[in-house]
Amino acid sequence: MALLEVTDLHTEFAVGKKTLHAVDGVSFTLEQGESLGLVGESGCGKTTTALSIIKLLPGNAQITSGSILYQGEEVTKKTRKGIRDMRWKEISIVFQGAMNALNPVMTIGDQIADAILLHENLSKEAVKARIAELLERVEIDRKRATNYPHEFSGGMRQRAMIAMALACNPKIIIGDEPTTALDVMVQAQIFDLLERLRRELRMAMILITHDLSAMTDTCDKAAIMYAGKIVEYVRVADLFTEAAHPYTRLLMSSYPRIGSERKMIDSIPGTVPDLTDPPKGCRFCDRCPEAMPICRETPPPEILLPGEHRVSCHLPSLIQKEGAKHV
């Protein structure tokens, strides 16, 4: 049994009188100790997928269908209390802006203690020891537990956030763009830390990023999302040679490859379609250089390629590829 199994998840937002289909039929599984990267442009439903899993969706959003199984239990049917017991203890999340995610009037130590005490009945000393251990895990001096967030640098705040996410030994940690707004070197340090912690603590991780290059060092598998759907699901080891979906290939060509031949990078013309009224056929068809008439009419089939590789595309070269199976 997989640790987390998301099947055909649909999450919708009520925007005025319209419905916005932010997540539209997303399926993936996560095994223990595995890390999955959710990649895509802004507005593709990556964060909404993550928030659906721990049910932190804003008031105007709801999961309309699909199932989220955590260790065989249905998350979507859990009560408020059930969810609260699961959050942080089983699945925790590191938010995007470490600057804004911490409470400015509480010390770092107290904020971590909050998370621990909600789930575990520990003595004051035990909590203190646990905070010191957590801070050292993320390479912050244990004495700094009495500091306030404004006394920390951006990188340290993000480390403190990670320490907080680890407070109750969760089995899954979700990183929602954990390094945006941080410096390149600090970014690399944070990814390095997450990767090391994941190995040491045998945690599973979902890393949400708009930066395809950022996840290549940290993830085992990549799910490329476009307009609320996963268009390609592939092992990172195969991504560079086997990327099949036109969107994935275009994304890859929008990064310069320093050290190789200097070639101008490509852009993807157009923008993500309006998700209150998504296109009938393939959602990428308006921006796809290889679009055919059929792409506008019917949603693409999901094709299974060898090596846990799934692509949703009409391209005949994929459909007729050796070993390809239709779903």
Partner 1 sequence: MSNAPDPIYSVENLCVRFPLAQPFSEMIAGKERPTVRAVDGVNFSIRRGEILSLVGESGSGKSTIGKALLRLLDPKVITGSVCFEGKDVSTFSKTDLTTFRQRAQMIFQDPYQALNSKLSNFYQVAEPLYVNHLTKTKEELYERVRVAMDQAGLRPPESYMGRFPHELSGGQRQRIAIAGAMVMNPDFLVADEPVSMLDVSIRADILKLIVGLREERGVSCLFITHDLSLAWLISDRIAILYLGKIMEIGKAEEIAANPLHPYTQSLLSIMPKLELRKEGKRELLSGEIPNPTEAPKGCRFSSRCPHAMKRCSEEEPAMSDSGEGHLAACFLLDEKKA
* DSSP-based three-state secondary structure for 248: helix
The residue (of 192 and 277) whose beta carbon lies closer to partner 1 is 192
Strand runs labelled E in the chain: 4-15, 18-30, 35-39, 61-70, 73-74, 91-94, 172-176, 204-209, 221-226, 229-235, 302-305, 309-312, 325-326
Least separation in angstroms between CB 320 and partner 1: 28
Least separation in angstroms between CB 45 and partner 1: 15
The residue (of 264 and 327) whose beta carbon lies closer to partner 1 is 264
Report the C-alpha gap between 71 and 2 in whole angstroms: 7
The residue (of 185 and 327) whose beta carbon lies closer to partner 1 is 185
Least separation in angstroms between CB 325 and partner 1: 26
Range 125-160 burial, b when 16+ CB lie within 10 A, else e: eebeebbbebbebbebeeeebebebeebeebbbbbb
The residue (of 202 and 240) whose beta carbon lies closer to partner 1 is 240
4-15/61-70 β-pairing:
antiparallel
What burial class does residue 10 get, using C-beta atoms within 10 Å of its C-beta: 0-12 exposed, 13-18 middle, 19+ buried? Answer: middle
Least separation in angstroms between CB 5 and partner 1: 28
72 token code pair: 């065989």
Contact set with partner 1 (CB under 8 A): 41-42, 153, 155-156, 183-186, 188-189, 192, 210-214, 216-217, 236-237, 240, 250-252, 254-259, 262, 264-268, 271
Report the C-alpha gap between 226 and 46 in whole angstroms: 9
The residue (of 73 and 183) whose beta carbon lies closer to partner 1 is 183
The residue (of 83 and 236) whose beta carbon lies closer to partner 1 is 236
Least separation in angstroms between CB 259 and partner 1: 6
Least separation in angstroms between CB 262 and partner 1: 6
